[in-house]
Chains A and B, each alone.
Chain A
Amino acid sequence: MKILVLVKQVPDTATQVKIGANPKAIDTAGITWIVSPYDEFAVEEALRIKEKRGQADVVAVTLGPDRAKEALRSCLAMGCDRAIHLNDPAWAEADTLATAKALAAVVKQESPELVLTGRQAIDDDMGAVPAQVAELLGWPCAYWIMEEAVDGDGKTARTGRQVEGGLEIFDVPLPAVLSAQKGLNEPRYPTLKGIMGAKKKEIKDVKAGDLGLGAETPQLSVVALEALPPRPPGRIIQGDVPTAVKELVRSLREDAKAI
């Protein structure tokens, strides 16, 4: 069984994001980059499927600049067998659709039985790529999965996806795209041996031309980034209790319109 895991390299969750000199992008100076945490659930799930079945070819795929190789090496260190790096200036401005087109083209070439990915990347939180990839391939797609079990023949996957107040259980025919929600599993740490062995595993570089794609005008373009306005300071209501309470109720009603 072959499983492709789509991962994205994103700024570490602890990063204080600042808007860059180019107001349409963030300032990347000094940022620590990590594999998006939801994608790590996807990697972990793929490795567990492999361990359960005894064998599988688990391939990590990313679209991103040179630095994104490090994210792939993290996946290899965790245990993925090989990796594919979509890296081309043509994708510098790629929106989710352009990204999904490139990823879908790789999926077509590799023709895996299963594509796993995170429910969204934690940088821009779009969450569109899994569905777009599935749509472009004409494959079924289940989002926010909390449980997954591929059957013995590798023909269907029983998935439980998170819905308000419970799980919705599907039997999804394979091939399919599944996106992982927190709670699916607890991702492993790479072992030192895994880290030392990652260098010996293959990372294939793929250009847009290799997939028969070129630069395309993005359907979605960023106009500007704006920082969140600073939180206004709290207000302390002075005075004796009966007056203060009256003022508090008035303020909640009229100023905050909270009650």
Chain B
Amino acid sequence: MHLELTEEQRMIQAMARELAESEIASVADEIDREARFPHETVKRMGELGLMGIAIPEQWGGSGSDTIAYVVALEEIAKVCASHAVVMSVDNSLYGEPVLRSGTDAQRERFLKPVASGHAHGCFALTEPEAGSDARNQHTLARRDGDHYVLNGRKLFITNGREASFALVFCQTDAARAHHGITAFVVEKGTPGFTVAKTEDKLGLRASDTAELVFEECRVPVANRLGDEGMGFTIAMATLDGGRIGIAAQAVGIAAGAFERSLAYARERKAFGARIGDHQMVQWMLADMATAIDAARLLTHRAAWLKDREEPYGVAAAMAKLFASDTAMRVTTDAIQVHGGYGYIKEYRVERYFRDAKITQIYEGTSQIQKLVIARDVLGGHDDRA
């Protein structure tokens, strides 16, 4: 494993950092306050090629790799976690499965517009009764000639309102339980497909989290991704990859909060000294720096394994678990370093603190990551397949 980025990866990192600092930073507080989806800056990210980083050029992407994806995502998340989650959904939760499991015709129609930044996708797995227990799918798809007819609800879907394409997981054969789950790409505007509401959230306030409703929604057979019954395998493989992105998002949130804490510790005086001269503050800063580095290395390792096409699921789970816990602890301590000012919106670490929490929940809670890791270390069988 190389611990050095290639020249291209460094250039991509520098470009993402510049974009984040000069265009995204100035809107991040406002869109959080107003819970407003940042169309303009997200469009800029698309134009620059950040929405299909590891997707081949042939399908509208940038033809780079997973390491470039995580370093760019970290830079965006350092400044705004909401922008980062849009990027992670378009790249990994939507783009990746359509690339892996789609036919060329499907890639042309459903992947190109998203990977090239002209449209968004979303990944609709979660239901009211299917969160951690993702097999418990109740959305049904019944075959009717050259169509399937979808009925059901999907909950907490990131990009749900903004997306032109929804990757929807449905039960096509309830008798076969999760072996009867099938994936479909449903286009926005398809009759019977509506966005029922968007959630009001603690953090990631500028990203839209929506409820999707399907009522007698007719979807052509041509929109089925993979074979009938392949849906659950597609979903789990997608989440393995997605977790690398969430780990990078968590590293970015932590690194952003740490940078601010460091600057504050150098400036703020108490008891006749800079607070950074007090040992207990130094202790917090040292712990933050160490945890962020460790989380970043775990994330890069998972990305590296994925790029080499080696098994990476457990590495991704470890990276996501550790990085999201790091984001939570670092942002908590970042407020502590800032004292009362940290609790006030103006000092920004308050937003990082609120944004960090979701990284321990979505794409598998920390508990679910531990299940995945424990199963692996105990040598048990992987019963997700």
Contact = CB atoms under 8 A, between A and B. Distances in A.
Interface of A: 70, 73-74, 77, 189-193, 195-196, 198-199
B47 A191 contact: yes
B50 interface: yes
Nearest to B72: A192
Contacts of A189: 15, 18-19, 48
Given A196-B8, A199-B8, A190 B15 contact: yes
Interface of B: 7-8, 11-12, 15, 18-19, 47-50, 53, 57, 62-64, 68
B62 A190 contact: no
B23 to A, nearest CB: 9
Contacts of A191: 47-49, 62
A148 B114 CA distance: 37
A191 B117 CA distance: 12
B370 to A, nearest CB: 35
A196 B48 contact: no
B63 A190 contact: no
A196 B63 contact: yes
B62 A196 contact: yes
A195 B11 CA distance: 7
The SS class assigned to the A binding surface is: helix
A249 B385 CA distance: 84
Given A193-B57, A193-B62, A70 B7 contact: yes
Contacts of B50: 192
A196 B15 CA distance: 13
Given A189-B19, A193-B62, A74 B47 contact: no
Contacts of B7: 70, 73
B20 to A, nearest CB: 11
Contacts of B49: 191-193
A79 to B, nearest CB: 13
A14 to B, nearest CB: 11
A6 to B, nearest CB: 21
A192 B8 CA distance: 9
B12 A195 contact: yes
Contact of A195 (B15, B18, B57): B15
Contacts of B48: 189, 191-192
Contact of A190 (B11, B57, B64, B68): B11
Q: Which of A74, A193, A199 has the most CB of B within 10 A?
A: A193
B17 to A, nearest CB: 10
Contacts of B63: 193, 196
B307 to A, nearest CB: 14
10 contacts: A189-B18, A189-B19, A190-B15, A192-B50, A192-B68, A193-B62, A195-B8, A195-B12, A196-B57, A196-B64
Nearest to B15: A189
Contacts of A70: 7
